[in-house]
């Protein structure tokens, strides 16, 4: 297991992060994603810790708060010292009825952080993330609320999730101008079968020093090796086809992954995860599991190596089609070639 800085912060996180969306589900959407209860969750958390993972991600909305409660209890059951792990959670999703039961308003954030702390059984949250963009709340209000939590010590670092590049950039600028706590990270969907964030989001993150946490790195199971052109497997996507995948292009990617996996004696999932670990913008890749053997397979991705030719082949088969203004920026990129001018 390797460790990376989260963006420009001094916070060091494992390159794999254990996601806990499979914890606590009972019915509906959360039941389809996962129904792990305390004993099973304890086993997965222990396996992650034993493999060197120090980073755990949850959200208040996962299983209506049960995921946070189970994760916190697992860490206590295993006798983990609080300062030895980095715990991340999120806020924005609907937690109760009424117009103020969701969002990134000051009122909702301050109310929900207390409930997350209680469920996790901790005095502080290492990384508190805004789980989605709330168009009804000014970004300034959201950032001021988060800054107050950092100054109080309740939250150590702040992050965003599922925001567009312009929204993140606006937040970065406001935080800098008002001397608020900086944006440490963005959690975003990114896979070798879905490289959309490379158009605008990743260049912005690299420019501004914001870390990238990857969710659903196997595209909701599409890259697990279960799915082929000849017929879908019986995994999660059979009943919950999310996130969207361009399957015509995606199966071309799976074909190459499968060929390379067989040659290396590895699984398709391991190679899909390892490809992400080779992308310089990525701080940590969030993996989730329902079974110990599934987690063990994913953990082995840290040992996968690629030759330059293999990486080039994977890049070619998964490369995004040209899109404006990208193709124009590339065409005009040579106008000022050579050493960068002094600032």
Return the active site residues.
Answer: 62
Q: Phi/psi class of residue 249: alpha, beta or left (left: φ > 0; alpha: ψ in -120 to 50)?
A: alpha
Quick one: CA torsion of 78, 79, 83, 88, rounded to 10 degrees?
30
Task: In whole angstroms, give the CA distance from residue 189 to residue 195.
Answer: 9
Task: In whole angstroms, give the CA distance from residue 292 to residue 39.
Answer: 12
What is 207-219 written as a DSSP string? HHT-EEEEE-TTG
Task: In whole angstroms, give the CA distance from residue 179 to residue 288.
Answer: 36
Residues 296, 302: contact at Cβ < 8 Å?
no
Residue 20, token pair as written in the block: 């806990």
Q: Torsions phi, psi of 92, nearest 5?
A: 155, -40
Quick one: three-class SS letters along 264-282?
A: HCCCHHHHHHHHHHCCCCE
């Amino acid at each position: 297991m390797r460790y990376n800085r989260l963006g420009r912060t001094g916070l060091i996180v494992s390159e794999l992060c254990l996601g806990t969306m499979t914890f606590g589900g009972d019915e509906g959407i959360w039941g389809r994603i996962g129904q792990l209860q305390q004993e099973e969750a304890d086993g997965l958390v222990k396996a992650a810790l034993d493999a060197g993972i120090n980073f755990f991600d949850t959200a208040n909305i996962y299983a209506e708060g049960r995921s946070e409660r189970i994760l916190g209890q697992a860490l206590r059951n295993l006798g983990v010292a609080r300062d030895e792990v980095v715990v991340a959670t999120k806020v924005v999703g609907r937690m109760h009825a009424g117009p103020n039961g969701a969002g990134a308003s000051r009122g909702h954030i301050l109310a929900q952080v207390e409930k997350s702390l209680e469920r996790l059984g901790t005095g502080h949250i290492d990384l508190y993330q805004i789980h989605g963009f709330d168009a009804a709340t000014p970004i300034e209000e959201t950032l001021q609320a988060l800054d107050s939590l950092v100054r109080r010590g309740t939250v150590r670092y702040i992050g965003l999730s599922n925001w567009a590049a312009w929204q993140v950039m606006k937040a970065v600028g406001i935080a800098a101008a008002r001397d608020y706590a900086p944006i440490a990270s963005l959690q975003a969907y990114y896979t070798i079968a879905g490289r959309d964030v490379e158009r605008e989001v990743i260049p912005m993150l690299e420019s501004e020093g914001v870390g990238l946490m990857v969710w659903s790195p196997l595209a909701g199971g599409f890259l697990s090796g279960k799915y082929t052109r000849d017929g879908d497997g019986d995994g999660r996507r059979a009943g919950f086809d999310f996130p969207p995948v361009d399957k015509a292009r995606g199966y071309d990617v799976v074909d190459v992954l499968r060929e390379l996996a067989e040659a290396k004696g590895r699984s398709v999932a391991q190679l899909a995860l390892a490809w992400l670990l080779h992308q310089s913008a990525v701080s940590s890749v969030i993996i989730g599991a329902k079974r110990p053997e599934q987690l063990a397979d994913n953990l082995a991705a840290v040992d996968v190596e690629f030759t330059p030719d293999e990486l080039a082949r994977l890049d070619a088969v998964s490369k995004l089609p040209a899109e404006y203004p990208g193709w124009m920026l590339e065409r005009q990129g040579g106008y000022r070639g050579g050493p960068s001018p002094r600032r």
